[in-house]
Structure 1
């Protein structure tokens, strides 16, 4: 894990929360509406407190919603923790050129929760990932539900799909087979 630079405000919030929760905080990410604390693996329960009392106390003090995110050296697990309690269908990380990209496959029903208003949730997730991993981009793949239902007709015959598969490289198939892909970068 790389060294993280903190602002004075972040340091003050970490100090307050460590005092009430009695749990070491790895990092603090602030935005207009939320404060997110990153804690070591296994410390989430203690950080939240009995009946959520630590989180409630912090929310009253800061006047913002407080999120507790469990850190993990396993990047896929860490990504799932960032988006918890939202259920992600699949998560994988791949090097694409110079970038390390996190691919997140989701159900269309959770799309709004994953993206957030004007993409704020994705921006926050990318900020956290850039601070704690080598991930530089996030791509969200919205699963195509229409073709998963039983009895739904597929618009392309199997022979045509096989022909297309032979013409396209593996990486392109994986991404193009999905209904919707959105890329978020902070440059």
Structure 2
């Protein structure tokens, strides 16, 4: 994980939330109407608290909605956690030129929830991913049932097979 620079406001919010939830906070992302706390894998239940009490206390204190996001070294799982409870149809990560792109396929019914007002949810997701992974872009694919993602084509020859294996390894090693 990269070092994250926090503002004074973020540090104060982390301090308050760590006290009431009694779990270490990895990161805090603020925007006008929301505060998102990133917690270690397995800490999400404790962070939320019994009946959501920790989240409710924090929302009263901050006057904003509070989201708890569970971190994962598995980027695909982390992306799903960022968008939870929204069901993403599929998630994959691929190098495209200089960029590492997260592709998320969604049902048209959850489009508004994924994008948020004026794309704010997508913007926040990308901000989180840039801080904790090497992902630089998110591409959303609206899944109209008629057009299912085709299986990756099998390489025709050994050279193509080798290129595909190297591309996968390159993204994994970063």
- The TM-score, its normalising length taken from structure 1, stands at 0.79
Unaligned runs of 5+ in 2: none
Report deviation, 1:145: 2.6
Aligned residues: 174
Q: State the distance in 2 between where 1:135 and 1:151 align.
A: 23
1:54 lines up with 2:54 in the alignment: yes
Per-residue CA distance 1:46-88 (angstroms, 9 max, x = gap):
0000000000000000000000000000000000000000000
Report deviation, 1:144: 1.4
CA contact (8 A) 2:42 2:70 kept: yes
1:43 lines up with 2:71 in the alignment: no
CA contact (8 A) 2:47 2:54 kept: yes
Unaligned runs of 5+ in 1: 166-175
Report deviation, 1:160: 25
RMSD of aligned alpha carbons: 7.1
User: Are residues 155 and 7 of structure 1, via their aligned partners in 2, closer, same or farther at CA, if it must alter by over 3 Å?
Assistant: closer
User: Are residues 179 and 83 of structure 1, via their aligned partners in 2, closer, same or farther at CA, if it must alter by over 3 Å?
Assistant: farther
- The TM-score, its normalising length taken from structure 2, stands at 0.84
After the TM superposition, which parts of structure 1 deviate over 2 Å for at least 4 consecutive aligned residues? 145-165, 176-182
